[in-house]
Amino acid sequence: MIPAIFGCSGPELTEEERAFFREADPAGYILFGRNCVDPEQLRRLTDDLRDIHGRDRLLISIDQEGGRVARLRPPQWAAYPSGEAFDKLYRLAPASAIEAARAGAKAMALELSAMGITVDYHPPLDLRQSGAHDVIGDRSLGADPMQVAAIGRAILDGLTAGGVTGCIKHMPGHGRAMVDSHKEMPLVDAGADALAADLAPFKSLNKALIGMTAHLKFPVWDAENPATLSEVIIRDIIRDEIGFDGLLLTDDIDMEALEGTIPERSARAHAAGCDIVLNCWAKMDDMTGICEALPAMSEETTARLDRALEGTHVADDLADEAGDLLAKRDALLALTEEAA
């Protein structure tokens, strides 16, 4: 198995993709809007991916946070609010915010499970920072580490209850970025004392089964390499100080913050300590190059992947419970409007 997650080019697999995926045997797949037309089509696509590999517990993933980061959208799928909605409610009624986040995440997971999706890149644990670039912005669950950890835990629990594994991101923290790492490399000049607050939510949720790195430079820890490519940050900060021992993925290896070819970046990230390289754009040359650049998956990574997928479940249909959970979430979130 190749320690990489690949994208698909469209709503159906091409014959070239089908043959390549069968031979390459990647760790899993990531879906985008280009792959999602309607529930029937999407379930056919995920079933097709599972058939290629002959295993039900396959990592088929998506970015479904809510708000502006949602690959599944109405009218075909339910609507989900951004993290800011739970942030506002928490400041008014913490217990209600936690319950709303848990109910919403379980409803989301039930919908994803019915689509054949087993992993959601959610929740972001990045603290919201005044004056920072809005690449995080309203996606954040708040500015207070304890609050972010509490809501984040509720989201992880809700996803798990619905048969989907969540992913904490973006370690060691993306909230201070002053530029968008999709376009250029953010440089975070904060010292270790200030960054301790950024690490706190990740420490609280360090038993999460999957985590994702950030393409940011932190000179206080490593002056040369961004977190994704830094052996020092992955070993000393993510694995040691945060204490995360789950499956560690890169953020999209294609983002413009990183330099070098896609295979070169992938090899560097893997050598630095990332378990799996995430490649999103379904470019056959890049995927082939990644397979040539990476070794076969290690036993340690295989064990982490197996643990991450152990509690996942692919449902036959969308559970009736989903509607009640969404109604509960919306009733709780409405408390902020009533208090305004």
User: Active-site residue numbers?
Assistant: 182, 251
Closest among 245, 193, 190, 183 to 215, alpha carbons compared: 183
- Cβ count near 240 (within 10 Å): 10
Residue 29 per-residue DSSP state:
E
The whole-angstrom separation of Cα 111 and Cα 61 is 13
- Output phi, psi for 177, to 5 deg: -60, 130
Distance separating alpha carbons of residues 203 and 127, to the nearest angstrom: 13
Token duo for residue 14: 């091409």
Q: Which residues, listed in sequence order, are joined to residue 26 by a DSSP beta bridge?
A: 2
Per-residue buried b or exposed e for 136-150, using 16+ beta carbons within 10 Å of the residue's own CB: bbbbbbbebbebbbb
Closest CA to 169 of 186, 148, 190: 148
| Helix/strand/coil for 322 | helix
Please name every residue paired with 29 in a beta bridge, in sequence order, or none if there are none. 6, 60
DSSP classification of residue 27: E
Helix, strand, coil share (%) of the chain residues, nearest 5: 45, 15, 40
Residue 249 forms beta bridges with which residues? 212, 276
